[in-house]
Amino acid sequence: MLHMTNIDPRILALAEKVTAKRARIVIDHIIAHGYVSTEELKEIYGYDHPPRAARDVRENGIPLETFKVLDKQGRKIGAYRFGDPSKIEGHKLAGRQTFSKGLKNKLIEMYGEKCAVSGIPFEGRYLQIDHRIPYEVAGDDAAGENAPDRFMLLSGSAQRQKSWECEKCPNLRGSKDQSVCSSCYWAYPENYTHAATRPIRVLNLGFSGQDVDIYDHLSEESKRTGISIQDLVIQRLKV
C-alpha cells in the first residue's frame, strides 16, 4: 500500500479539490494502492472504458503515467499512477464544468437539433454537449459558456467515437497543440484537414425514411460479398 507521505504534496493538494465521482474513485485508489489497473477499473468499479476514467483525472490538471502490469491471467494490461508533479497543468485547475440547459438551447438555436458529426436529426434531449477542442488540450480556455462556438452537439454514439479517437490521437498524447485540434474533423467536421492527425476525409451518411431501403440493400450485399458497406459506397462513387 502506498503511504500518502510518498505522494508529492502538490499532487495531493490538487487531488483534494476533485469532487467528480469517477475521477475521485481513480484518485483514491491510486492514493491507497499506488496505481489502478484497467482490470480494476472494470471489475471493481464497473468502468468499461478505463481510459475515459483516467482522462477525468488528467482533465483536473493531475498528471498520470500509463504503464503495464499483469492481470489475473498473467497478460499485460494498462495501469495508471501519478506522474511527474512538474507536469501539473495549471490551465485545468478549474476542472471540467457542468453544462447548463441554456447552453444546449443556444447550440440548438445555432446548429439545429442534429448531431454535428453525423448530421442525423435527434430530439434535443438525446444530444450531448461536447467541447470542440478536448478539455484535456484546451483546459479552462474551453470551459466557459460565453463562447458557444467552442462547443458542439453530438449523439451518444458520436461522442463515444470522438472520445475514443481523441484518446488515441498523437497530439493529445504529446504536445497538445490547440491549432492541431482546430483543424481536426472531430472538432470541426464542417472544415478540417485531418482526423486525429491522419490525412483522411470522412463522409457520414444517415439513412432515414424511404432511404432506409438503400441501406438495407447495401447491408445485404455486404453480407453476401464480404465487402464492407463503406467500400461498397466507394465502389459506387467510382463508377
Using one digit for the tens of pLDDT, what is the confidence trace for 24-69? Answer: 999 999 999 999 999 999 999 999 889 889 988 988 889 999 999 9
Whether residue 1 is predicted with pLDDT greater than 60 in this model: the reply is no
Return the pLDDT at 177: 94
Tally Cβ neighbours within 10 Å of residue 183.
Answer: 13
The chain-wide mean pLDDT, for the chain, equals 89
pLDDT in tens, 194-206: 999 999 998 887 7
CA dist 164 and 167 (Å) reads 5
pLDDT in tens, 212-225: 999 999 999 999 99
State the pLDDT confidence band at 4, using cuts at 50, 70 and 90.
low
∠ CA 134-120-229 to the nearest 5 degrees? 95
SS3 of residue 152 by DSSP: strand
CA dist 153 and 122 (Å) reads 10
Whether residue 134 is predicted with pLDDT greater than 60 in this model: the reply is yes
CA distances from 163 to 52, 70, 98, 166, 169 (A): 8, 26, 17, 5, 10
pLDDT in tens, 101-132: 999 999 999 999 999 998 889 999 999 999 99
